[in-house]
Structure 1
Amino acid sequence: MSALIVHCTCPDAGVASHIAIALVEARLAACVQQLPGVRSTYAWEGRVEHAQEVLLLIKTADDRLDEVIDAVRALHPYELPELIAVEARGGLPAYLDWIHAQSRADA
């Protein structure tokens, strides 16, 4: 089983905190870091847009990804939220074990 880091941008700190707390309390994520001050440039509905956002880095077990996506989509105000999972190919074994332990509903 591998650990994932899921990237998700939010429109502001309030939304980011709400999603982070919900994921950790539901044991869908072991840790969610909030990185403010992200400036995003993207194409949307035929225009180039710019936005100040907060980036969430959601640490979870790979078998919890679908549930993380469902939870974020239910809480997120964007029509199409950024949800991109990146596999953690390595790391401190004890930390990776902690991610798995904390991402379990039955723990």
Structure 2
Amino acid sequence: MAASNPDVVVVTTTHDDESKARALATAAVRERLAACAQLYPVRSVYRWDGEVRESAEWRVDLKTRAGLTARLTAFITEHHDYDTPEVVAVPVVSGSGDYLAWVAAETGP
């Protein structure tokens, strides 16, 4: 059954290397800043230093509570080697009630 829970967000970042993306995801889950993380290979097109660039990256989607967004953002920034890592939080407007409760239960205080 679908439920609404504005306290759950998906925080997205990217990394240029699969092992670095996996290490970041694992560390965030270990620290209970996220209940889980999913990694996807993606192609990114972006403007950097006045040029349009394209590169292969690994997208990391981290499921967490909205109240942990600032701590997770700081954690990603501290453990990332990009000058300006992507950190975007998107609210979950609806989902499985049991899953949303699990995300809340598996993330830290």
TM-score by length of 1: 0.94
| Paired position in structure 1 for 2:29 | 24
What amino acid maps onto 1:104 in structure 2? G
Unaligned runs of at least 5 residues, structure 1: none
Pairing 1:60-99 to 2, within 5 Å after superposition: 60-99=64-103
Unaligned runs of at least 5 residues, structure 2: 1-5
| Paired position in structure 2 for 1:15 | 20
| Paired position in structure 2 for 1:2 | 7
Looking at structure 2, the residues matched to 7 and 26 of structure 1 have their Cα atoms a distance apart, in angstroms, of 17
Looking at structure 2, the residues matched to 49 and 20 of structure 1 have their Cα atoms a distance apart, in angstroms, of 25
- Report the identity percentage: 34
| Paired position in structure 2 for 1:34 | 39
Shift, 1:7, TM fit: 1.0
Shift, 1:104, TM fit: 1.8
For residues 60-102 of structure 1, give each alpha carbon's deviation from its aligned partner in whole angstroms, at most 9, with x where no partner exists. Answer: 0000000100110111110000100000000001100100111
Looking at structure 1, the residues matched to 101 and 89 of structure 2 have their Cα atoms a distance apart, in angstroms, of 18
Looking at structure 2, the residues matched to 30 and 40 of structure 1 have their Cα atoms a distance apart, in angstroms, of 26
Say how many residue pairs are matched.
Answer: 104
Task: Let me know the Cα RMSD of the aligned residues.
Answer: 0.9
Looking at structure 2, the residues matched to 23 and 55 of structure 1 have their Cα atoms a distance apart, in angstroms, of 14
TM-score by length of 2: 0.92
